[in-house]
Structure 1
Amino acid sequence: MALSRRVQHDEYPDWILAFGPFFVLAILVTAIYGVVSLVGVDWLAATETLDVLVVLTGIGFVAGILPVIVGMLWFPYFRRLDLGWIHAVLAFSAGILAYIAVEMALEAVGFAAEVPTPFVGESVAIGAVLVTVATMELASRWRSRKTASVSGDGLRVAYLVAIGLGLHSIGEGLAIGSAYVLGDVGLVALLTLGFIIHNVTEGPAVIAALAREQETPPLRHFAALGLLAGGGVILGGWIGSFVDSALVATLFFAIAFGAIVQVLWEMAELITSEVESLVTRRTSLGFVAGLAVLFLLEEVIVDGLLL
């Protein structure tokens, strides 16, 4: 069985499986640019509530769900890796998540300070983190019992990662929705482009745990994982277009932070369930690489575009 999962995609050379998603991403960005250039941006000036929701749903799908799905296209390549490299990919994903967790914590603290009553903002942030961690832990245990007879821990962890990333992506949607209602079309476009590039890295984070499984899950799980991980951009866009509240922003960023912290714990347990040491040369390099990639995307590429 272990052999069959390694040779399932042998008809494709490694370089195609490794670099194929980059080509898909390039085609996706080019197509979006072409459509926007052809149609123009007048359609962004919707004022009716329903039209606003439709526009933000489309933007959220392009900025959130599509890039995650593109990133998940690395799954066949990950399936060829041995266990040591799979752990390195998991560590890479953990590095991405850790960087996002720090961002979410800083955002939550920043918005909490803007709440008219600071004590209320701080209380909401701390309470949201604690409740989220507890809820995610209960959900993890429930799903572990439900999937124990049909799959390993990889699918459970993949769902937890997708949920954590989905909560994080609500913050991205808040930024897009706020820029949209302010009528800053240029900022909406730049944010969308930046989040497309950023969210491609979330695809591997979602499916890294699945690469260690003996059986490939049905496609419905991949669809659900992509929707969970990227769909938050749509929800955040809706919220950002109608609610301008530092307290609400504090709540969502704190929830995202709590969810990702719990997911990181799950990923560490997943690795240590198969090997004695969590920290190896490969996992250390993978974790640092994940941090470096997100730093490059967030602080250099995305911020460079916005400036």
Structure 2
Amino acid sequence: MKVKWIISGLVPLLLLVAVVAWVMINGAGIEKDPAAPIEVLNIERINTTYSGFEISISNTGPEPLTISQVIVNDSIWNFGVSPSESLKRFEEGEITINYPWVQGDPHVIKIITENGIITEGEIAAATLTPERSWSNFLNYGFIGFYVGIVPITLGLLWYPFMKRFSRKWINAILALTVGLLLFLFIGTLADGFEMGAEAPAVLQGTMVVMLGAVLTFLLLIGFDQYSQKKQALKVSSPFNIALLMAVGIGLHNFGEGLAIGTSFSLGEAALGTFLVIGFTLHNITEGIGIAAPLLKIKPRIRDFVLLGVIAGAPAIIGTWVGGFIFSPILGALFLGIGAGAILQVIYVITKMLINDHKKHLEPTVSWLNFSGFTIGLLIMYLTAFFVKY
């Protein structure tokens, strides 16, 4: 009986393999050459060096391709490609161009394949790309520290002030936190989609964001329910909620670090400085949000330190990645994971608020909670003016 059951599952699979093999060997039955070559060359990154440009490329198309020409500002220029001018599918390479670039000037680089397919990259304002050195490593780390850990810690310092609030006002602060998180969730998704669009089309950046968000949300929901069952709790503990919130915000701050690190690495120092100031102001509210679930317990000092590091330290890692080894698809994945984690915290806090109001026979949505929720959205919206450009 068991053998028949296994065979019934294997037969369709074997038939599928046979059909796919037949099509691959004999074709689909219609033999027709494409009207144009199917070549996709992706420019991963352009570094400006003392002698010219170094361009990281990858072949993300279905066929091998060969690079035949490089044009810089409408002039054909000599170039070198390593490991070879011909790239197989998914193979990466680096183009080196000796070019007398001018500080601050825009430069347009066109890469032409053997079949005439043109891929264009642009340097908005040429400046020397920061080298990978310990001094730059530390400098970028300090930037992430200012953006992540410092404002989160300042936000957590509001805890003693909020601790004296009554139950209704604590719920209003939690509703405010939901507003903050909802704005962060939408913003994180939007940033993820934007970053995913920069990745090669074959990697499906938008889908990576969605998969990361959905799977993370479901995974955390399952883990939370397992923890409740194991500890015989009806709702999540306040510290666990704050911890999950710190994780979600930390992944969001990783994306902010990517933006800042990339801005500095591309020579947009003024923009990078502006983002540092903006994100510092913007992220103070995140620290307040993390502190909100803790108002119903007495956390220890080390709990605050742990939460601050978890929420803020990813900004440091983000600046390093953005400044030195930025990858759009990895950035999109992390932002998707962050969005899923934030959504799970929204779900848990909302559920906690609903249960508390039912317990005290109060309306699920009170005017005080609605006001807190709205204020949370407005705070994030207004402080976002400092980080949008």
**8 Å contact 2:146–2:280 — kept in the other structure?**
yes
Q: State the distance in 1 between where 2:227 and 2:271 align.
A: 40
1:137 corresponding residue in structure 2: 221
2:154 is matched with 70
Shift, 1:202, TM fit: 0.8
Q: How does 1:212-223 map to 2 (within 5 A)?
A: 212-213=296-297, 216-223=298-305
Q: Give SS of 1:81's match.
A: coil
Partner Cα separation in structure 2 for residue 289 and residue 258 of structure 1: 23
Aligned to 1:275, what secondary structure does the other structure show?
Answer: helix
* Counterpart amino acid of residue 307 in structure 2: L
**Higher RCO (C-alpha under 8 Å, 6+ residues apart):** 1
Residue 187 of structure 2 is aligned to residue 120 of structure 1: no
> What are structure 2's unaligned runs of at least 5 residues?
1-128
- Hey, what's the Cα distance between the residues in 2 that align with 1:234 and 1:146? 35
Is it true that 1:198 corresponds to 2:262 in the alignment? no
Q: Aligned residue for 1:281? A: 367
1:96 aligns with 2:96: no
Per the normalisation by structure 1, the TM-score is: 0.77
Do the aligned residues in 2 keep the contact of 1:112 with 1:118 (CA within 8 Å)? Answer: no
- Give the aligned partner of residue 25 of structure 1: none
**2: CA distance between counterparts of 1:137 and 1:159?**
14
**1:164-175 correspondence to structure 2 within 5 Å:** 164-175=248-259
**Matched letter for residue 244 of structure 1:** F
2:327 match: 245
Paired residue secondary structure (1:168): helix
Q: Which letter does structure 2 place at the counterpart of 1:242? A: F
Between Structure 1 and Structure 2, the one with more strand by share is 2
- 1:176 matched residue in structure 2: 260
The structure-2 alpha-carbon separation of the partners of 1:205 and 1:143, relative to structure 1 and needing over 3 Å to count, comes to farther
Cα distance between partner residues in 2 of 1:117 and 1:192: 31
Note the aligned Cα RMSD (angstroms).
Answer: 2.3
Equivalent position of 2:337 in the other structure = 255
Question: What's the CA shift for 1:138?
Answer: 3.9
Shift in Å at residue 144 of structure 1? Answer: 4.7
Aligned-residue offset at 1:152: 7.3
Question: Which string of whole-angstrom CA distances, capped at 9 and with x for unpartnered residues, describes residues 49-87 of structure 1?
Answer: 333321111111111101111111111111110110001
Higher Rg of the two aligned structures: 2
Which protein is richer in helix relative to its size?
1
Question: How many residues align structurally?
Answer: 256
Q: Is the 8 A contact 1:143 1:156 kept in 2?
A: no
* Alpha-carbon distance in 1 for matches of 2:364, 2:267: 48
| Aligned counterpart, 1:18 | none
Give % identity.
32
User: Which letter maps to 2:316?
Assistant: I
